[in-house]
Amino acid sequence: MHWNAVAGRFTPPARLAVIGDPIGHSRSPQMHNPALQECGIEAQYIRVQVPVGRVAEAFRQFAASGFLGVNITIPHKFEALDAVDVLDPLARQLGAVNTLAIRAGKLHGFNSDGPGFLRSVKEAFGADIQDLRVLILGAGGGAGRAVAVQSALSGCRKLLLVNRSQAKAEAVATEILALNFQPDVSVVPWQDDALHAALATTDLIVNATSLGMKPADAKLLPADALLPRHLVFDMVYRADSETPLLADARQAGARTVDGLSLLLHQGAISFEHWFDRPAPLNVMRDGLQNAARS
């Protein structure tokens, strides 16, 4: 790929990007470009497909082409961790990089998954993580691990980890217990009776799996275990309809939020890293919602 041509064939010029493999589905340009226009920044945000194993090379090319920053999505967040010059301490603790800021030729790596999750919970439910007992479905994966570690770092009252591979959840629990404090963390088997018991002492339920993206996906929880007092955060987003988890939660009278909120707040945090100024959140929200409806 001729990187200078990539940057130069756009008006305004491309100076920001999101990378992934694949990447055509990303709605990030529809969120960031209105924000850039609103702030009078002469730059454009584009999608770039980068193959696995070539993230470090891509970062160098972005820097050489005058880019200001990059968002990183699946499957590159772990590869990006080893491709930056300066690693933010939170990104190190969360074990992944999803935001790159290029400053004076240096590659600075950040993670907005955890902080974006905290902002989403606060906006959707008016709640702070430190006041909540949190159960995470899919706690052994990248996003689930990041949310689990962030919840522990933020001092949640209780942390319950659920994963199809219980060994992966136990590994995350061990990592969390090795931090410089002792949170109340435990692993819950993914079985109906165990979930019923755990949900009785849970405030916030987080789905960090990909289940729910397709209509035929298996249900995550027994519907009768959901209660009106539950707060349900599904990191999955579906444009055509709500996910089965959110439908069951709404039927139970629980409060809900989907993954679009997380994408918005992750994007806002990235904008703040790139430009050292508050993001125009409402403009970004409108752009994201318009893209979701199209």
Predicted local distance difference test score (pLDDT) of residue 1: 46
Q: What domain count does the chain have?
A: 2
Query: Based on the domain organization, do 68 and 194 belong to the same domain?
Result: no
pLDDT greater than 60 at residue 4: no
pLDDT greater than 90 at residue 226: yes
DSSP 22-35: S-TT--HHHHHHHH
Query: Based on the domain organization, do 144 and 229 belong to the same domain?
Result: yes
3-state DSSP assignment of residue 253: coil
DSSP bridge pairs for 133: 158
Note the pTM of the prediction, 2 decimals: 0.92
Predicted local distance difference test score (pLDDT) of residue 68: 97
* pLDDT tens digits, 32-83: 999 999 999 999 999 999 999 999 999 999 999 999 999 999 889 989 999 9
Query: Based on the domain organization, do 140 and 252 belong to the same domain?
Result: yes
Is 219 one of the annotated active-site residues of the chain? no
Query: Based on the domain organization, do 118 and 73 belong to the same domain?
Result: no
Q: What is the mean pLDDT of the chain?
A: 92
The single residue of 77, 122, 214, 219 carrying the catalytic annotation is 77
Query: Based on the domain organization, do 53 and 182 belong to the same domain?
Result: no
* pLDDT tens digits, 236-281: 887 777 899 999 999 999 999 999 999 999 999 999 999 999 999 9
The CATH number of whichever domain residue 194 belongs to comes to 3.40.50.720
Query: Based on the domain organization, do 236 and 280 belong to the same domain?
Result: no
Query: Based on the domain organization, do 35 and 122 belong to the same domain?
Result: no
Question: How many other C-beta atoms are found inside a 10 Å radius of the C-beta of residue 158?
Answer: 17
* pLDDT tens digits, 186-200: 999 999 999 999 999
pLDDT greater than 60 at residue 6: no
Residue 124 near residue 148, CB atoms below 8 Å: no
Point out the least confidently predicted range of 3-12, 89-98, 218-227. Answer: 3-12
Query: Based on the domain organization, do 91 and 104 belong to the same domain?
Result: yes
pLDDT greater than 80 at residue 121: yes
pLDDT greater than 70 at residue 8: no
Domain span holding position 39: 3-111+261-293
Q: Which residues contact 263 (CB under 8 A, 6 or more apart)?
A: 27, 28, 31, 116, 237, 288
How far is the C-alpha of 207 from the C-alpha of 122, rounded, in Å? 17
Query: Based on the domain organization, do 128 and 221 belong to the same domain?
Result: yes
Buried b (16+ CB within 10 A) or exposed e, 92-112: ebbbbbbbbbbeeeebbbbbb
Query: Based on the domain organization, do 178 and 154 belong to the same domain?
Result: yes
Pairing of the two strands 204-207 and 185-188 = unpaired
Identify which has the larger pLDDT, 216 or 85.
85
Query: Based on the domain organization, do 152 and 194 belong to the same domain?
Result: yes
* pLDDT tens digits, 141-177: 778 999 999 999 999 999 999 999 999 999 999 999 9
Query: Based on the domain organization, do 196 and 253 belong to the same domain?
Result: yes
